Structure 1
Amino acid sequence: MRKMNEMPKTEQPREKALMYGITALSNMELLAIMLRTGTKEKNVLDCASELLDRSGGLSGLPRLSLGDLCTVSGISKVKAIQLQACFELVQRISAEELSADSIMEHPDKFEEWLRIRLGATMQEELLVIYLNKAKQILGMETVFRGTIDSAAVSPREIFRSALSRHARYLILVHNHPSGNLTPSSQDLNFTSRMIEAGNTMGIDVMDHLIVSQNGISSILSSRQFCSV
C-alpha cells in the first residue's frame, strides 16, 4: 500500500483541490476527502474506491444503509453517519431545487430524483408530494413504511396534511423493492380510495407512481387501473 504522504501532491485529493479547485476531483477523490483517513492496510483512496464498488456507483451511495457503510474498510459508525448526513443533504438540496419550479417543467429531473430517493430502498415506503395550483412542490412526507395496505394507510390523515399545506394536488409515490413495476391489487384499491377522497375534498390525485431500480411506472396510466 502506498501511503498518501508518499504520493505527489497532484495525486493527494486535498492538495489537488487546493491547486485546481474542487471540480477537478474525481468521485473517488471527493469521497476520500469526506472519509479523511484510511486504514493500516488501505489508504483513503483505496477505501473510497471500495465504497464506490460496494454502492455500484455514485447514484447508489444514498441507498446504502448504516450497516452497509460499516462493512467498507475504514468506515466506522461515526463516519457512516457523517456520510449519510452528506447524502441526505444532497437529496434535500435536490428537493428544494424541484420546489422552485413546476414539476411539469422538469419531469426528467423529478423522475431522476425519485429513482435516487426510492429506487433501491429495501423496504416499501409511501411518499406523498403536495403541490399548489401551479404544480410547485409545497412539501413531501413519508407517511408509511411497509407493504401498502388500504386498511393501514389512512386517506383522512393524508388529506388533513394536504389541507394544512393548502395543497391543490397530490402525487403518491411508493417503491417496489422486488423491481416489479406492476401494481398490486392493494396498490389499485388504495389509489381508487385516494382519488375518491380527493374528489370530495377538492384535491386532485395527479398520479400514483411506482418506483424501482428498473424505472418508474404510473398506476393511473396502467392497464390494470383502467380496467378496475
Structure 2
Amino acid sequence: MNIRLKKEEKVKVLCADDLYGIMQRVLVRESRIDRNREHLWTVSLDNAYRILNIELVSLGTINKTLIEPMEVFSIPLQKRAVKVILVHNHPSGELTPSERDKDVTDQLIQVGRIMHVPLMDHLIISEKDYYSFMDSGLLKELEQSLKYVPAYEIKRRYEKAAIEIGKKQGNNEGKKEVAKQMKKEGYEIEAIMRITGLSKAVIGRLKVE
C-alpha cells in the first residue's frame, strides 16, 4: 500500500534522523490497533536521495512480519529507485535488532546488490525513538557477510584477491594468502582447491592465526 506524503515530506534523506521524523508520523497515523502490529515499509530514493515513494509492504503480528525479497524490491524497482531503505516498527518499544532482523537485513543487502538497488539503511522504529543499522555500524558489518552471497560471486572475489596479492608477492604466494583467508572463514578444502588451484597437501600445511 502506497503511503501518501505531503509535499513537505518529500525531502532528501541524508541521515536516519531525516527519515525517522517522517516515519514516526506515518506510524502515528495508524489506528491504535494497527500500531500494536509490526509494519514493514520500503522507502525508495532517487539519485539525489529524495524520497520517491514509501510503501507498506507487510502488516504482521505483535512481534513478527512477513519479509519476502521479491515484495521488498518490487515497488522500488517500479519507481526506478537507485537506493532503498527498509523500515519496520517494534510495538514493544524495544529497538534492539533481533537475530531475525539481522538475518533478513543480511539477505536483503545481497538482493540489493544483485538488483543494483543497494540497501542504504534499515531502521527499527517506535513512536518515540529509532535504531539505525547504518549509524550503529551493523549494516557495514553485515555487508561483509558471505552467508547469502552467490557461490559464483565468492569465487570471483577470491580470484580477484589472489591476482592482486599475486602481483605484489608472487602468484603462488597470493594463492596461499587467499587460501588462508578461506580456511579462516570455514570453507571446505575442496572449495579452496577449486578457487586457488593449490593442492590439498599445500592447503593442509597452511597455518591460520
Report if TM-score (shorter chain) is over 0.5: yes
Unaligned runs of 5+ in 1: 1-90
Unaligned runs of 5+ in 2: 146-209
- In structure 2, the CA distance between the partners of 1:109 and 1:208, relative to structure 1 (3 Å rule), is closer
CA displacement, residues 152-196 of structure 1 (integer Å, 9 cap, x when unaligned): 421123223222111001011110010001001111111111110
Q: 2:105 aligns to what?
A: 191
- 1:108: how far off? 4.6
Q: 2:94 aligns to what?
A: 180
Look up the SS of the partner of 1:112 in the other structure: helix
Residue identity matched to 1:97: E
Q: Is the 8 A contact 1:115 1:213 kept in 2?
A: yes
Give matches, 1:1-228, under 5 Å.
Answer: 92-94=4-6, 96-99=7-10, 101-104=11-14, 108=17, 110-118=19-27, 121-146=35-60, 147-148=63-64, 152-222=66-136, 226=141
Among all aligned residue pairs of Structure 1 and Structure 2, give the percentage whose two residues are the same amino acid. Answer: 33
Q: Is the 8 A contact 2:123 2:130 kept in 1?
A: yes
Q: Is the 8 A contact 2:44 2:52 kept in 1?
A: yes
- 1:148: how far off? 4.1
- 1:113: how far off? 2.0
CA displacement, residues 113-136 of structure 1 (integer Å, 9 cap, x when unaligned): 222222672111001111111111
Look up the SS of the partner of 1:143 in the other structure: strand
Q: TM-score scaled to structure 1, two decimals?
A: 0.51
Residue identity matched to 1:114: M
Q: Is the 8 A contact 1:98 1:110 kept in 2?
A: no
Look up the SS of the partner of 1:174 in the other structure: strand
Distance in 2 between the 1:203 and 1:166 partners? 9
Look up the SS of the partner of 2:106 in the other structure: helix
Distance in 2 between the 1:145 and 1:196 partners? 24
Distance in 1 between the 2:54 and 2:9 partners? 11
Report the count of equivalent residues. 133
Q: Runs in 1 of length 4+ with deviation above 6 angstroms?
A: none
- In structure 2, the CA distance between the partners of 1:168 and 1:140, relative to structure 1 (3 Å rule), is same
- 1:221: how far off? 3.6
